[in-house]
Chains A and B, each alone.
Chain A
Amino acid sequence: MANDIAIVGYAQSPSWRQSELTEPQFLFPVISEAIERAGVERREIGFTCAGSCDYLSGQTFAFVMNLEAVGAWPPITESHVEMDGAWALYEAWVRLQHGDIDTALVFGSGKSSPGVPAEVYPHQMDPYTLTPLGADPVSLAALQARAMLDAGKITEREMAEIAARSRKSAIGNPYAQVTGDDDPDALLKEPYVTAPLRRHDLPPISDGACAVILATADKAKSLSKRPVWIRGIDHRIDIHQPGMRDLTESPSTRLAGKKAGVGDAKVDIAELSATFSYQEKLLCEELGLGDDVEINPSGGPLAANPVMAVGLARFAEAARQIAEHGKGRAVAHATSGQCLQQNLVAVLEGD
């Protein structure tokens, strides 16, 4: 049985199409705000874990520079994952299980604007069979969307409705990049970017950051009037080769959701890393989330997609719904790899 760990502070930067600030520069106020909101002393934090991607930044050891925003002198205990910040949160959650420290700082950050994502990502794929094909996220997502359409699991109209609802939900979100009150019928008249995906089915290209403070049970109770408890968390992986999977299913999401305890009680809201519109329906199905569950009240990744922070931002947004909007039980989901290859699912609850 795992020890209870709570989210006691969170902060985000706006999501920008192109920030003129460096990654450490825009991380700096985000980390400071999360620490301030948690009410912890920066020097008291027992463990720091970051998620970022040097390929995205185009700079070796870019993750080391990001520590300048943390305050790493005198030396601190820290770690880094070449994954979304949600996996940094998972590592910190595991670290806090030891019980010898009581707080952790987690952050994720990325600048997608300097590079060309469609050229960068194929280099993270299988180097023999997928990289030479230039297998980029949009093309692979289009294959998955086509498989879903062919299987009758979604329609293009449903995809447009998901995009329109996401943009509308994002209107009240100060960190969102794409907002608006769009008519799904009008969206469907737009041309394909990569068939069957239209512009609204794709996430924006974003720069941005997110930070979260975790605390063990006693510490969380002393710090916060409304700690947000991580009741369950699990990470599962499907096979890397998209050709060896049934793309209309996500067994890793299903299993992670089951292990995290999603179905054990009623879910009020879910913040899902549905980076492409159609993925929302697939994720809801695998997690057993029905029409009574509010999906991505923040607007989700279709409204703001700071790669390497977008999954951690799902935790921050889900925690916000509990801490600030009185919701009782929330699901936070992060994904990594192509076509929802890796999935991390957590259940968050208020007291």
Chain B
Amino acid sequence: MTDAKQPDAKQPDAKQLAAKQEEAVDPSAPVTGMDYFMKLEYHELLCPVVREFADALMDKRLIGHKCPKCGLIYSPPRGYCPICTVQTTKADEIEIQTHGIVTNYTVVTPVQYYGQEETEPFAKVSLQLDGGGTLSLQDLPGVPVEQVHPGMRVEIVWAPDDERHVDDVTNRSWGSAEGAIRGWKPTGEADADPSEYSDKTF
């Protein structure tokens, strides 16, 4: 959702920086602050369990690890259950359903800080998939933010085969995978009863 009207939200333009420095020069004024632009880049290998999650996305499948002790399902897999402190492996991998319930949501109203690319309020939702498993940081494209609510029944919208990619899947992206999952669309069914998700919201 990059807004073409705001090119300066991306990269500092040399001319703009020079102009800014120019206007800051007032030898009589006390120095109260200084601009310092910095950029740090980090490149991390995908860990094996998230690589498997990404590979499955390319096959239009969602996978997770089911804790052998408590049965909680982690998607993407983490390689352990932090509640039981047991490690999980390929043997604990399960496929999870691509339809479920919106359990909670957050509306983000973008503040136009330096580098911000979003301009309009948008919602990120948490999902409980039918049959078990949860995903967070998901999108409901086309659904106005004021209509997003817990209990909505939704199903996955995969990116088309020729566009699907997992370049944005990282060890830190949790369930967010916009290159493969375009988002989730309401199925039109009646809302789920709160008892189905009330103790499982995140």
Q: Which residues of A contact B87 (CB under 8 A)?
A: 28-29
B40 pairs with A111, CB closer than 8 A: no
* B interface secondary structure, majority: loop
Flag whether A239 is at the interface (Cβ < 8 A): no
Per-residue CB contact flags for chain A residues 64-78 toward chain B (1 = under 8 Å, else 0) read 000111111100000
The answer to whether A20 and B40 have CB atoms under 8 Å apart is no
Q: A59-B172, A68-B80 are in contact. Are A20 and B45 (CB under 8 A)?
A: yes
Q: Which of A68-106 contact B (CB under 8 A)?
A: 68-73
Known: A20-B46, A29-B87, A59-B172. A69 touches B36 (CB 8 A): no
Contact of B42 among A29, A68, A115, A132 (CB under 8 A): A115
A155 within 8 A of B: no
Known: A25-B79, A25-B80, A69-B80. Contact between A131 and B36, CB under 8 A? yes
Interface hits, B73-112 → A, CB 8 Å: 78-80, 82-85, 87
* A116 to chain B: closest residue by CB: B41
- List the B residue with the shortest CB-CB distance to A67: B82
Tell whether, in the assembled complex, residue A58 and residue B48 are in contact, meaning their CB atoms are under 8 Å apart: no
Q: Does B38 contact A (CB under 8 A)?
A: yes
The interface residues of chain B lying within 8 Å CB-to-CB of A19 are 45
**Contacting pair A114 B42 (CB below 8 A):** yes
The residue of chain A having its C-beta at the shortest distance from the C-beta of B49 within the complex is A25
Chain A residues with CB under 8 Å of B44's CB are 58, 111, 113-114
Could you give, for residues 112-131 of chain A, a 1 whenever the CB lies within 8 Å of some chain B CB and a 0 otherwise?
01111001100100011001
Given contacts A68-B78, A127-B36, A131-B36, contact A114 B43 (CB under 8 A): yes
Cβ of A22 and Cβ of B41 under 8 Å apart?
no
- Residue A194 lies at the interface, judged by CB distance under 8 Å to chain B: no
Assess A25 versus B40: contact at CB under 8 Å? Given A42-B85, A59-B172, A69-B80.
no
A265, CB-defined interface residue at 8 Å: no
Which chain A residue has the least Cβ–Cβ distance from B46?
A: A20
Tell me which residues across on chain A come within 8 A of B17, comparing CB atoms.
Answer: none
Residues of B within 8 A of A67 (CB): 82
Query: Which residues 12-45 of A have a CB within 8 angstroms of B?
Result: 18-22, 24-25, 28-29, 32, 42
A115 to B40, CA, bound (A): 7
Question: Which residues of B sit under 8 angstroms from A119, Cβ to Cβ?
Answer: 40
A215 to B48, CA, bound (A): 36
Given A115-B40, A116-B41, A20 and B48 contact (CB-CB distance below 8 Å): yes
How near does chain A come to B141, taking the closest CB pair, in angstroms? 27
Q: Given A68-B82, A71-B85, A115-B41, does the pair A20, B47 have CB atoms closer than 8 Å? A: yes
With A42-B85, A59-B172 as contacts: A120 and B78 at CB distance below 8 Å: no
User: Which residues of chain B from 26 to 69 have a CB within 8 Å of any chain A CB?
Assistant: 34, 36, 38, 40-48
Which residues of B are found within 8 Å of A72, using beta-carbon distances? 82
Complex alpha-carbon distance, A55 and B34, angstroms: 22
Q: Which one, A73, A111, A114, A132, contacts B83 given CB within 8 A?
A: A73
A contacts, CB < 8 Å to B: 18-22, 24-25, 28-29, 32, 42, 55, 57-59, 67-73, 111, 113-116, 119-120, 123, 127-128, 131-132
B residues whose Cβ falls under 8 Å from a Cβ of A = 34, 36, 38, 40-48, 78-80, 82-85, 87, 171-172
Starting from the known contacts A20-B46, A111-B44, A113-B44, 7 additional A-B residue pairs (CB-CB under 8 Å) come to A21-B47, A24-B80, A25-B78, A25-B79, A68-B80, A71-B85, A119-B40
